[in-house]
Structure 1
Amino acid sequence: MNLSVWDTYVARDDGKIMHFDILVPSDLLDKDVIFQFGKKYLKRKQISSSTITTNECKFCHLEQATHEIMEQIQKNGYFIIEMENCN
């Protein structure tokens, strides 16, 4: 399965910038759906800054899914890779 990787940067309340990737099937092109996945992740992390637009989240590249990621995408529709300041 090919995945689209959406590079996402969101300001937290403490001023730090969260950096995470949203991975979705490459045939998912609806940005609003992808942004909703990011907002769902932020809510789960209890981050009140939930603004995700094309300013915060941009298509980065395509990659091949691992078995673990593919299972999570089939279950949830997306997968998050935490990069910086996500905890």
Structure 2
Amino acid sequence: MKEMKPPSHRREPHGKCEHLPVDQHQRQLMEWAQTRGIALSHIQPGKPQQNACVERYHRTVRHEWLDQYIIESIEEAQSS
């Protein structure tokens, strides 16, 4: 199996679809977002419907990137 890379046609986020877990880099991300006019918001735990953009991204990763290869055996998965 070859290494998968995300699409190169990335764009900057545009608003309410930003999810931010609390971590040590939060201040830097908040400053970055503020300079670009992006409003960050938190979702309630256990409420994926409030985070539709990220959930859609996760679906894309699962179905379009990870499903590109059919792994026939455990040995094949472990060897890559």
* TM-score band, normalised by shorter chain: under 0.3
Larger radius of gyration: 2
Q: Per chain length, whose mean CA-contact separation is higher, i.e. which structure has more relative contact order (CA < 8 Å, sep 6+)? A: 1
The answer to which structure has the higher helix fraction is: 2
Q: Which protein has the bigger strand share?
A: 1
Q: Please report the TM-score for the alignment, with normalisation by the length of structure 2.
A: 0.23
